[in-house]
Chain A
């Protein structure tokens, strides 16, 4: 058999390995307290979930709230959920900020950052889009006004795919 040229061999390897790129890792499961009881991530299966790790001392985290509130309002009739996981060690600081906003999605509390560690967050805020099958789709670190539209489009597309 004639040996393949290096470029052809490389293409063949890429084609064989392609399905590996299409797989998304399963999102770590969690159970955290909220103001309305315990929130279990398994309850969210079948929905597109936007998870946001935030803290009251982090300015971009606070700046992301009006956008998240608007997104929840925009997609309220679709299987879309936002969960904001607070990482403040002092819950009173978080409560003060929460009281200043008209938040329309659940806030979970993770003062020991056990879930944040599972998600391996690299900065604040860190957000994740978890698809309807419970797989991690996209990770965002930080919050910028310029990327709001792109994020909204991604949410919209993932909701349509289902």
Chain B
């Protein structure tokens, strides 16, 4: 049973693929940004900081171009 599950899991790895630079047009849309609204994000960060006494740790650097 475990062998079957392991084999099926391996099949799922085929879904891992590299997005080619020229196919990143959808990723470059503003609505696809990790932080679509700076103001919303600043407010959320403020609330999070007030509640948890810690901040940051979200988002990643770089844009959709793959050039940074």
Contact = CB atoms under 8 A, between A and B. Distances in A.
Contacts of B55: none
B42 interface: no
The prevalent SS among residues of B at the interface is: loop
Interface string B16-58: 0000111111001100000000000000000000000000000
Contact of B29 (A57, A87, A122): A57
Contacts of B6: none
A58 B68 contact: no
B22 A60 contact: no
Interface residues of B, number: 14
Interface of A: 53, 55, 57-61, 87-89, 113, 116-117, 121-126, 141-143
Interface of B: 20-25, 28-29, 63-68
Given A116-B22, A124-B67, 20 more contacts: A53-B22, A55-B25, A57-B64, A58-B67, A59-B63, A59-B65, A60-B67, A61-B65, A113-B20, A116-B21, A117-B20, A121-B21, A123-B65, A124-B21, A124-B22, A124-B24, A125-B65, A126-B21, A142-B65, A142-B68
